[in-house]
Amino acid sequence: MKSGKFWAWVVFGIGTAYFFIPLLATFEFSLRMRRGVHSFDAYQVVLGDPRFQATFLYSVVAAIFTIILGVLVVVPAAYWIRLRLPQIRPVVEFITLLPLVIPAIVIVFGYIRMYGSNSPLPFLSSDLGASALLVIGYATLALPYMYRAVDTGLRTIDVRTLTEAAQILGAGWSTIIVRVILPNVLIAVLSGAFLTFAIVIGEFTMASLLNRPAFGPYLQNIGANRAYEPAALAIIAFAITWGCMSLIQILSRFAPKSANRPN
């Protein structure tokens, strides 16, 4: 038993070294912009760059729209499957897994060919359309995570009883979903939302191929042309990812624990 504990510490130590050395080194590197002393110059340069502000804002807005679109697509479907159509659950679960099978670059390639400017649905003929297509693409990428989060949330509430109670009180479908179901799965939806945010914010492939002024292509551009700023950006990106994951963890403490497991 004692040797088991020893080896556990060894494994943990090696793992810690592999994961923390690059992070510490990146941080140290990001402080070296001014010759001879440690300074936050690289961060100042990055945060003061108007292109940083513009592209970051663009990606934040895209992420928010992605989350809204994802909720609109996923919540009614997950709810309806629990309530009325449990038999099609395997089909829907299979579809939600597809974005893990089909690489993002393939999906966006399909968009470019299907929704080009001389197609029946010419998303790519205008800037707004292309941005909409980017949001749609992001919602597709986030689909597996969003669906799982919402479905887990729905599992902890009694969908059928809540729906029937609301109907007895005279609620219509939109009222039921917006005022009964959504508040009950809000924490699950928010977890999915923060994960979506973390995935979308620095996404490169789709934004670059759709030629959008997003944060990912900006990162690529800085990475190819600068020395210290990329390290600062890596630390900022890590902090954003960390923030999203922490929020998910904090939220999970508020999630209802009393699962009644209807299935």
Partner 1 sequence: MTDLSLSNQSVATKPAPPTEATAFRLPTQWFGVAPFFVFTLMFLIMPTLYLVIGAFQTGEGGFTLDNVLQLVSDPSISNSYWVSIKISFWSAIVGAFAGLAIAIAIVRGGLPGWVRSATLTFSGVASNFAGLPLAFAFIATLGRVGIVTVLLRDIFNLNIYALGFNFLTTWGLIVVYLFFQIPLMVVIIVPAIDGLKKEWNEAAATLGATQWQYWRMVVIPVLFPSFLGTVILLFANAFGAIATAYAFAGPQLNIVPIKLYSQINGDVLHNPQLGYAIAFGMIVITGLANVFYIWFRTRSERWLK
Nearest CA to 60 out of 260, 242, 240 is that of 240
The single residue among 53, 110, 127, 179 that binds partner 1, judged by CB under 8 A, is: 110
**Cβ 48 to partner 1 shortest distance, Å:** 19
Strand, coil or helix: 146: helix
**Cβ 238 to partner 1 shortest distance, Å:** 6
Amino acid at residue number 243: G
Assigned token pair, 259:
């699962």
Contacts of 139 (CB under 8 A, 6+ apart): 66, 69, 70, 73, 146
Indicate whether 19 belongs to the interface with partner 1 (CB under 8 A). yes
Site string for partner 1, 129-158 (x = CB under 8 A): -------xx-xx--x--------------x
Which helix (H) or strand (E) covers residue 117, if one does? Answer: none
What is the maximum span of the chain, computed from C-alpha positions, in angstroms?
73
**Cβ 260 to partner 1 shortest distance, Å:** 6
**Binding to partner 1 in span 214-253, by CB under 8 A:** 216, 219-220, 223-224, 227, 230-231, 233-234, 237-238, 241-242, 244-246, 248-249
CA–CA gap between residue 166 and residue 147 (Å, rounded): 24
Helix axes 41-48, 229-254, angle to 10 degrees: 80
- Which range binds partner 1 by CB under 8 A, 33-41, 44-52, 53-61, 82-90? 82-90
Is residue 237 packed enough to be buried (19+ CB in 10 Å), middle (13-18) or exposed (0-12)? middle
Strand, coil or helix: 225: helix
**CB closer to partner 1, 22 vs 256:** 22
**Cβ 186 to partner 1 shortest distance, Å:** 19
**Cβ 42 to partner 1 shortest distance, Å:** 11
**Binding to partner 1 in span 42-81, by CB under 8 A:** 72-74, 76-77, 79-81
**Cβ 116 to partner 1 shortest distance, Å:** 11
- Which range binds partner 1 by CB under 8 A, 43-51, 55-63, 86-94, 183-191? 86-94
- Which range binds partner 1 by CB under 8 A, 45-53, 56-64, 184-192, 199-207? 199-207
Contact 121, 115 (CB under 8 A): yes
